[in-house]
Amino acid sequence: MAACMLPAASRYSLFIFLRDSFLSPRTIYRLSSISSGNGYTSWRTSSSSSSEPPTADTCAFRGHYGLLVKCGSLRKDAQQKHVLQRLAQLQHTMENYSNSIYLNSPPPGPSSKDQLTDEEGSHVTAAENKGSATEEEPSPPPPPPKGFYIYGDVGTGKTMLMDMFYSHVESTRKKRVHFNGFMLEIHKRIHRRKQSLPKRRLGERFTSDPILPVAMEISNEVCLLCFDEFQVTDIADAMILKQLFETLLKTGVVVVATSNRPPDDLYKNGLQRDTFLPFIDVLKEHCHTVRLDSGTDYRRLNRAAARKLYYLSGEPGAAACLDALFEELASSQKSVTGPRLLTVLGRDVTLEKTCGSIADCSFDELCGKPLGAGDYLEMARLFDTVFIRHVPVLTLTLKDQARRFTTLIDNFYDNKVRVVLLAASPLERLFVHTGGDDERDRQLLDDLGLSGEAAERLTLFTAEEEIFAFQRTVSRLTEMQSESYWMTGDRSHSKKPSNTHG
């Protein structure tokens, strides 16, 4: 075991990107097939046999988990261990993996009756091409490695295992991101690409599709994408996911994702879900689906609590306690208390009371305004502690605010931001599954021209998604009140994030 725990020797990868627009796909493919480095041959050698002995890195990956169990930081969990072993196999495969061979591959081959285009642009039939060929076409590359879609109930360790896997993959071309943040970036890239198109003249139609080039940009940047909290609640996201991920996965990007929902339940009851279903097929084809659901929410287990961080509005002196805690934390900041202006995507967001890395906000300030994941990510970057006052009981009538609150907590949790709350109700009773059929809902249904079964499905979707997401929010807020989370989130010390059962 000691040998297994040794760090792996340094590895160097040669990535060849041929972006010369004057080369045809066939020419690029021929060049890439004879170039050295982490292409088809070296990856095939490392992944062709599942019986190869584990490397030092793979042992370190498993050993890290074993040590956390041994020292009492984690409990023994057979389901976690099973998922860990599956991820360790993928981590071994990823050691010498590059998706450059898929980026350089030609489009799908035509049938014998189809025509091919040679480098000079003239058309020849497949038979004529075969007869005149002076060199043998290289064999097609093997299928890319399959990723993983890990789903299960809240707090069972999905995020923890994915992050452990990610930290042991030695590659500069990897990215770990919350799914909300990823889709935000996708929409920004699509917007930039649309803005770069020439102005459309009256009566002129453009058929340019920005999704494919955006997907290719990402495939050129990374060969491993790890997503936390894979969920689809936005019809705009739902409509682009199939084409986006089909391109990413077919160009060799390996995806590992966590979710509370099985793939077949993604975007359940969502508008125009029929057009979303092909994406589920693409996801299941390129990712192993693994359930991690031991029935234990590790965030709710007894753990040392930090100082009191959740106050009820009705408690005598609750607001004064928050004031005192803010002053205590602010005393160590090299700043004065005052408002702070944040600029997010060209918009100004003002927080009225901040001091250094601390923000003291109201619920309405954070969730009563049209803010989103981008705003919350910027706050997470700037602040390590956020006070949230006057959190109301969240009924389905307040589902917009509830949706923003869950997004806020997801992004804060993902970035280890500490929170202190003043709420109208205890955490377990903060979200009430009532309401939702208000005048604004009926107006939305009228605007969309929906009635009958379609209207019922929309109501089911909006209610069910909020209820489902808030279960995760309650679980995460429970962990965020622990001493270990509070200490981890203190950015005044250079502490590495500890592993949690995410």
Question: Is the per-residue pLDDT at 466 higher than 50?
Answer: yes
Residues 374 and 414 in one domain: yes
The pLDDT of residue 305 is: 66
Mean pLDDT on 360-381: 94
Residues 6+ apart with CB under 8 A from 19: none
Q: Which amino acid is at 227?
A: F
Last residue of a domain, one of 291, 325, 342: 291
Residue 397 within any structural domain of the chain: yes
CATH of residue 30: 3.40.50.300
Residues 471 and 333 in one domain: yes
> How many CB atoms lie under 10 A from the CB of residue 400?
14
2 vs 139: which has the higher pLDDT: 139
Residue 8 within any structural domain of the chain: no
Residue 230 within any structural domain of the chain: yes
The mean-pLDDT minimum among 139-148, 264-273, 335-344 falls in 264-273
The model's pLDDT over 5-19, given as tens digits with 9 standing for 90+, comes to 333 333 223 222 223
Please say whether the beta carbons of 144 and 99 come within 8 A.
yes
Residues 309 and 343 in one domain: yes
Please say whether the beta carbons of 254 and 92 come within 8 A.
no
Q: What is the mean pLDDT of the chain?
A: 76
Distance CA 145, CA 381 (A): 34
- CA distances 475 to 98, 287, 469, Å, are 37, 27, 10
Please list, residue by residue across 85-120, b when 16 or more beta carbons sit within 10 angstroms of its beta carbon and e when fewer do: eebbebbbbbbbbbbbbbbbbeeeeeeeeeebeeee
Q: Which two structure tokens, joined as six digits, stand for 259?
A: 């979710």
What pLDDT band is residue 205 in, cutting at 50, 70 and 90? low
Last residue of a domain, one of 247, 267, 291: 291
Question: Is the per-residue pLDDT at 329 higher than 90?
Answer: yes
Q: What is the pTM of this model?
A: 0.62
Residues 238 and 348 in one domain: no
Residue 471 within any structural domain of the chain: yes
Residues 248 and 337 in one domain: no
Mean pLDDT on 362-371: 94
DSSP-assigned beta bridge partners for residue 72: none
Share above pLDDT 70 across residues of the chain, in percent, rounded to a whole number: 69
Question: Is the per-residue pLDDT at 2 higher than 70?
Answer: no
The mean-pLDDT minimum among 123-132, 150-159, 314-323, 460-469 falls in 123-132
Share above pLDDT 90 across residues of the chain, in percent, rounded to a whole number: 42
Give how many domains the chain has, as a whole number.
2
8 vs 255: which has the higher pLDDT: 255
53 vs 174: which has the higher pLDDT: 174
Residues 357 and 224 in one domain: no
What pLDDT band is residue 252 in, cutting at 50, 70 and 90? very high
Residue 307 within any structural domain of the chain: yes
Last residue of a domain, one of 291, 312, 334: 291
Please say whether the beta carbons of 172 and 15 come within 8 A.
no
Angle at 492 between CA 491 and CA 494, to 5 degrees: 70
Residue 498 within any structural domain of the chain: no
Q: Which two structure tokens, joined as six digits, stand for 388?
A: 């949230």
> How many CB atoms lie under 10 A from the CB of residue 357?
21
The mean-pLDDT minimum among 98-112, 126-140, 145-159 falls in 126-140
Residues 331 and 366 in one domain: yes
The model's pLDDT over 62-87, given as tens digits with 9 standing for 90+, comes to 788 888 888 887 888 899 999 999 99
Q: Which amino acid is at 378?
A: E
445 vs 2: which has the higher pLDDT: 445
Angle at 243 between CA 468 and CA 104, to 5 degrees: 130
What pLDDT band is residue 135 in, cutting at 50, 70 and 90? low
Mean pLDDT on 91-101: 91
Residues 274 and 414 in one domain: no
Please say whether the beta carbons of 252 and 219 come within 8 A.
yes
Question: Is the per-residue pLDDT at 344 higher than 90?
Answer: no
Q: Which amino acid is at 195?
A: Q
In which domain, by residue range, is 217 found? 25-107+139-195+210-291
Residue 112 within any structural domain of the chain: no
Residues 242 and 311 in one domain: no
DSSP-assigned beta bridge partners for residue 226: 176, 256
Most confidently predicted of 132-146, 202-216, 339-353: 339-353
Residues 269 and 303 in one domain: no
Residues 6+ apart with CB under 8 A from 122: none
The pLDDT of residue 52 is: 43
Residues 393 and 303 in one domain: yes
> How many CB atoms lie under 10 A from the CB of residue 173?
18
**Three-state DSSP state, 260:** coil
The pLDDT of residue 497 is: 42
The pLDDT of residue 347 is: 86
The pLDDT of residue 65 is: 85
Distance CA 17, CA 182 (A): 24
Residue 127 within any structural domain of the chain: no
What pLDDT band is residue 43 in, cutting at 50, 70 and 90? very low
30 vs 294: which has the higher pLDDT: 294
Residues 303 and 187 in one domain: no
